[in-house]
A and B are shown apart, each in its own frame.
Chain A
């Protein structure tokens, strides 16, 4: 985007003399700054581009003079229609100009949506084009706003040029009369001082007007030629949704990979080790000395404990049964392992997407872990119900309550998991209990 000229910075820099002096220098140099010339060039080019649709609109009238009302209407329709039809090409040219000359990037507008009943022919394409707000926003820019802003810029350029011409001419005559001694009747010699002053002001005002017009032009063009704000937001939401889903899926895939690696590697080795130790313990017990026997026994017990720990860890990564048999089967597994007794009801007439299943599984898993850790509950009720396109999960415990989502990381994790698939998370936990966690996960039907 174009940065504004220094007019504004003068007032803000008055406290600092150096900044003030620099600002003053910049204002004085404004008519000769590179940017002023660039803006002037852009205004000229804009004028050319704006003239195109105007010419197209005027052209039919020069070849044909309508005499009846119908003819006038037809002629108007044809000329405006032609100008509107020209807009997409003008837009391409405009976007190029803005980028090449000013460095302003106007994003491409989204392609015109085909209506669902489109037959694919010329007429339905034309109808889609006429219905699309894009067409009318472009026409609005090229036929109305663009030219209007451009006229303002040209006016600034005119002031600038006129002032420059007047002052230059006056100076030349002043030199001729006073230094060279040319005849007195040259009226220019006596330039009125107030006109000269006005010209001096215009000389500085001109570039500023041109620049302001160019700035406005750029802003209006971004607004009307690029995607509208709603479209831009919709595009970003779509993109973010996609990238988030990708991230969630990637994490899921990675967990599966790690689970598989551990299952194929470390777990099998440990089972084998524990089995061999067990075999040794069973068969060699009589032949070994007491310390050796004890060492063997300890090693065997250690190996078994390691197996159990590894199993819990691996299972937490990604339960295979979730993939095979779904949420119901997987949840009865975690419910069974919960130290606090769990009553579980699952009502899911169909499977939902793997991602939602995984999120649901880990939410129940973590909720139960929280209950076991903090709630001091004696019973937990877990209800999972597929209600149309929403998976509703409720976890209620009869513990001490007072759970606070803003303090515990466990609850934050639950909320984040729910949010990762656009789900909602709610908790009710009055002091003294009971605590109820409610999670709704949308799943495409």
Chain B
């Protein structure tokens, strides 16, 4: 899989390159700032971009800004954003246009190599991978929202859906049967007023509902 890495720390850039190349990814470029990232994407048209949030020159949110540009200009490029801290606001911005082919993880997750690679593949395949911390932040926003009607278990299931997991993955995480997960998911769809007519798309819609009110569109 053709991959571009943007990470300003030399150590980590080399480490990530080594890790990806050892596990079947093709690193076509490894750059150190957002401008170089955009140039590399333009030049190589990769399938996957891995970007750090803080990069030169201002060391604040260059990675997020670059990711937003990439999502607008090259819609077929999947992006995994890595950050030392995850922020709900950044996640909301990344997910604002669409919820496919995007990942937002704590940098620490890189340490769990297999989980990290799995998330990368999921994102590259058009899925999502949100850090559990982001999901926790997303869950907390207040006021009467459809998601407030969910039970604790249903919220758990929904947050795992938001992290981008399949029914089987959710069942494994919660140590329940897949059919129990399916039951929870159906209940969630009902409570969020998502009719069966919407088909599999309901999963994405449910996650979107879940994210509603967290982004800039709905500031109370």
Contacts and interface: CB of A to CB of B under 8 A. Distances in A.
Interface in A253-294: 260, 263-264, 267-269, 271-272, 274-279, 281-283
A336 B207 CA distance: 18
Given A279-B19, A311-B84, A321-B90, A268 B111 contact: no
Interface stretch (A19-27, A114-122, A210-218, A343-351): A343-351
A324 interface: yes
13 contacts: A271-B15, A275-B12, A278-B114, A311-B84, A311-B85, A324-B61, A330-B87, A332-B89, A333-B87, A336-B133, A344-B141, A345-B220, A346-B220
Interface in A325-345: 325, 328-330, 332-333, 335-337, 341-345
B190 interface: no
Interface string B104-129: 00111011111010000000000000
Contacts of B59: 260, 320
Interface residues of A, number: 46
B140 A335 contact: yes
A344 B142 contact: yes
A375 interface: no
A311 B11 CA distance: 18
Given A263-B54, A324-B60, A332 B140 contact: yes
B65 to A, nearest CB: 10
B142 A345 contact: yes
Nearest to B64: A324
Contacts of A307: 108, 111
A230 B88 CA distance: 51
A275 B17 CA distance: 12
A320 B15 contact: no
B108 A308 contact: yes
Interface residues of B, number: 38
B114 A304 contact: no
A274 B60 contact: no
A272 B52 CA distance: 14
Contacts of B60: 320, 323-324
A272 B85 contact: no
A332 B89 CA distance: 8
B22 interface: yes
B54 A342 contact: no
Nearest to B142: A343
Q: From B12, B60, B85, B112, name the one whose CB has the most chain A CB atoms within 10 angstroms.
A: B85
Nearest to B87: A321
Interface of A: 260, 263-264, 267-269, 271-272, 274-279, 281-283, 300, 303-304, 307-308, 311, 314-315, 319-321, 323-325, 328-330, 332-333, 335-337, 341-347
Interface string B44-78: 00000000001000011100000000000000000
Contacts of A272: 9, 11-12, 15
Contact of A314 (B84, B89, B141): B84
Contacts of A271: 12, 15, 107-108, 110-111
A333 B88 contact: yes
Given A279-B19, A324-B61, A337-B136, 17 more contacts: A274-B108, A275-B113, A304-B108, A311-B85, A314-B84, A321-B90, A325-B87, A325-B89, A332-B88, A332-B89, A333-B85, A333-B87, A333-B88, A336-B133, A336-B136, A344-B140, A345-B143
A294 B140 CA distance: 38
A332 B111 contact: no
Contact of A282 (B106, B114, B139): B114
Contacts of B88: 329, 332-333, 336
B137 interface: yes
Contact of B54 (A275, A320, A337, A347): A320
Q: From A260, A275, A311, A330, name the one whose CB has the most chain B CB atoms within 10 angstroms.
A: A275
B201 interface: no
Contact of B110 (A260, A278, A329, A342): A278
Shortest 3 CB-CB contacts between residues of A and residues of B:
A274-B111, A336-B137, A329-B89
Contact of A268 (B9, B112, B137, B141): B9
Nearest to A303: B111
A220 B90 CA distance: 66
B85 A320 contact: yes
A337 B139 CA distance: 11
A301 to B, nearest CB: 9
B140 A341 contact: yes
A242 B219 CA distance: 35
Nearest to A283: B22
Nearest to B82: A271
A5 to B, nearest CB: 69
Contacts of A264: 9
Given A324-B61, A333-B137, A341-B140, A276 B87 contact: no
B11 A342 contact: no
Contacts of A332: 87-89, 137, 140-141, 214
B11 A269 contact: yes
A314 B108 CA distance: 14
A254 B72 CA distance: 38
Contact of B113 (A268, A279, A335, A345): A279
Contacts of B139: 336
Contacts of B113: 275, 278-279, 281-282
Nearest to B10: A268
A321 B59 CA distance: 11
Nearest to B14: A272
Contacts of B18: 279
A343 B15 CA distance: 40
A336 B140 contact: yes
A282 B116 CA distance: 12
